Amino acid sequence: DAKTTQPTSMDCAEGRAANLPCNHSTISGNEYVYWYRQIHSQGPQYIIHGLKNNETNEMASLIITEDRKSSTLILPHATLRDTAVYYCIVRAQSSSGGGADGLTFGKGTHLIIQP
């Protein structure tokens, strides 16, 4: 899987949009961009994923650049409950469901929402 680079930490004011960048310059054509987060003392939580096009769901939007070398996760109206470590990973989807290669999170971005 391609390597990703994320800022170590970011602050955002409550109610504002939080924009979390991720660089994945070595991404392959068949690799998707996934975002997870982990709130303190909780399990990781899947947020969103995409291949080329921008994606939106009830939690967030994912903007992928045209060259696919970077992406941005957008939380449109951040709340205090969005304070967490956010992980960007890239991963190919195997048609067989994949083998024993479990999810691996890097250091992620610690997003702190300020009241």
Partner 1 sequence: DAGITQSPRYKITETGRQVTLMCHQTWSHSYMFWYRQDLGHGLRLIYYSAAADITDKGEVPDGYVVSRSKTENFPLTLESATRSQTSVYFCASSVRGIDYEQYFGPGTRLTVT
Interface contacts to partner 1, rule CB under 8 A = 34, 41-46, 49, 91-94, 96-106
**CB-side neighbour CA atoms (13 Å) of 5:** 6
How many of the other CB atoms lie within 10 Å of CB of 37? Answer: 24
- Give least dist CB 90 to partner 1, A: 11
Tokens coding 40 = 């303190």
Which CB sits closer to partner 1, 66 or 100? 100
Which CB sits closer to partner 1, 13 or 103? 103
Q: What is the DSSP letter of 88?
A: E
- Give least dist CB 49 to partner 1, A: 6
Which CB sits closer to partner 1, 8 or 96? 96
- Amino acid identity, position 74: I
